[in-house]
């Protein structure tokens, strides 16, 4: 210090607190700003360690910092990147910024510490940080809202695409239905017309056997037409959600015996439907007999249709604890393995069905009726070795 008067002027009138310490960390002089900042009088701090102005929890580490600084003193700011705190006489703490400068007084190494109270700056920083966090939160919230809006738009688009796809599929189904139904109606109607003409001819000729032959053809064609109409009505009821199950308690043995007896009458020559019930007692179940009859009639009609004359169709009933399994097995043409996956799809017909009449609706209806009965139907088949359809339904269907 070249001029003690100049230094004293700066020292006494500076706004920053200035503290001079010796190499032992003892305070040798403070300026008025220090007294005002910390609440001490000059005499209270002289010869006291600088640690007096540091919160208790930092004092242990501070002693090491003092020794380290005196080994290699140079002007620098303390605690770069750290939060520094000082302690007033009343014990309150406040954030500070400290700059250190080494000096030499009367041949003794000293350190001048410039201390600035940065409480207001910290408040501003905290406010700025809070504001930044608030902005980030708002951005995050608005981003989330935007993402949700985008997701809703995407879901809406997806639903629209699905609706359009369903509409296309429905239009395709309608086209296929019109084409299939018109074809299936045309064939039996043509048979009825031609047979009626021939019956009139054979009545004139009094040829009884040929009359009966063509009357049988007419009867069979009418039954085919009835089946087609029933399938159409069933599909319509399913699609419109008008089909409601009506379960009640009934005797399954009697239902099966009556159905088998009825269908044996329309079986091909030599065909036999054989019923086997693996239960010594009569089976009573609480189900919808109308839907169950439709399922079994459809499966048995298919077995008759796709099997040759002089073959057997086996109906095997197994009663389990809670379920009933009904197997319908034929010795018919079988189904190619590649077709099994789509067997219950509307309008699907197996590639080996050939000229055998059918709309491709029957098995789809069977599958949907089985689901209405809380059951399911599966198929096992080998080409040229016959098919087996297994219907599983619960004994009790809740109404």
Residues 6+ apart with CB under 8 A from 98: 77, 78, 79, 84, 113, 114, 115, 116
Per-residue pLDDT of the chain (399 residues; tens, 9 = 90+): 455 666 777 788 888 899 999 888 899 999 999 999 999 998 899 989 888 899 988 887 777 777 777 777 777 776 556 788 999 999 999 999 998 888 887 788 889 999 999 999 889 988 998 999 998 898 888 888 989 889 898 888 888 888 888 777 666 656 666 555 555 555 566 667 777 778 777 787 778 888 788 787 777 677 667 666 666 666 667 766 777 889 999 999 999 999 999 899 888 999 999 999 999 999 999 999 989 998 998 899 899 999 999 999 999 999 999 999 999 999 999 999 999 998 988 878 788 886 676 667 889 889 999 999 999 999 999 999 999 999 999 999 986
Q: What are phi and psi of 186, to 5 degrees?
A: -60, -45
E strand or H helix that includes residue 235: helix 208-239
Long-range CB contacts (within 8 A, 24+) of 32-39: 34/115, 37/88, 37/115, 37/117, 38/86, 38/87, 38/88, 38/89, 39/88, 39/89, 39/90
CB 328 within 8 A of CB 389: yes
CA distance 92 to 55: 9
Q: Are strands 76-77 and 284-287 parallel, antiparallel or unpaired?
A: unpaired
CA distance 99 to 79: 9
Q: Biggest alpha carbon distance in the chain?
A: 155
């Amino acid at each position: 210090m070249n001029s003690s008067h100049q230094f004293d002027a700066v020292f006494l009138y500076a706004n920053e607190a200035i503290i001079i310490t010796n190499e032992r960390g003892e305070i040798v002089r403070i300026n008025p700003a220090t007294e005002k900042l910390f609440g001490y009088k000059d005499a209270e701090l002289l010869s006291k360690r600088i640690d007096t102005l540091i919160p208790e929890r930092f004092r242990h580490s501070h002693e090491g910092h003092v020794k380290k600084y005196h080994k290699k003193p140079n002007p620098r700011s303390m605690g770069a990147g750290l939060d520094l705190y000082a302690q007033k006489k009343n014990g309150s703490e406040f954030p500070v910024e400290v700059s250190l400068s080494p000096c030499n007084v009367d041949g003794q190494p000293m350190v001048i510490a410039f201390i600035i109270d940065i409480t207001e700056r910290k408040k501003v920083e905290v406010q700025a940080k809070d504001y930044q966090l608030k902005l980030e939160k708002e951005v995050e919230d608005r981003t989330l809202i935007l993402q949700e809006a985008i997701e809703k738009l995407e879901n809406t688009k997806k639903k629209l695409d699905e609706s359009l796809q369903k509409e296309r599929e429905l239009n395709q189904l309608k086209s296929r239905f019109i084409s299939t139904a018109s074809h299936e109606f045309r064939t039996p109607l043509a048979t009825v017309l031609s047979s009626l003409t021939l019956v009139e001819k054979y009545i004139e000729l009094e040829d009884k056997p040929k009359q009966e032959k063509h009357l049988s053809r007419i009867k069979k064609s009418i039954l085919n037409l009835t089946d087609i109409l029933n399938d159409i009505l069933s599909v319509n009821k399913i699609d419109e959600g008008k089909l409601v199950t009506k379960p009640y308690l009934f005797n399954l043995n009697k239902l099966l015996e009556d159905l088998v007896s009825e269908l044996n009458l329309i079986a091909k020559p030599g065909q036999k439907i054989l019923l086997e019930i693996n239960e010594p007692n009569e089976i009573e179940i609480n189900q919808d007999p109308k839907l169950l009859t439709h399922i079994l009639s459809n499966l048995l009609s298919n077995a008759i249709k796709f099997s040759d004359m002089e073959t057997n169709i086996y109906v095997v009933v197994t009663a389990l604890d809670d379920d009933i399994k009904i197997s319908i097995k034929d010795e018919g043409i079988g189904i190619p393995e590649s077709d099994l996956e789509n067997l219950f799809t509307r309008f699907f017909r197996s590639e080996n069905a050939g000229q055998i009449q059918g709309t491709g609706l029957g098995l789809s209806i069977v599958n949907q009726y089985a689901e209405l009965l809380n059951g399911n139907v599966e198929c096992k088949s080998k080409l040229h070795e016959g098919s087996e359809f297994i219907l599983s339904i619960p004994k009790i269907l809740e109404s």
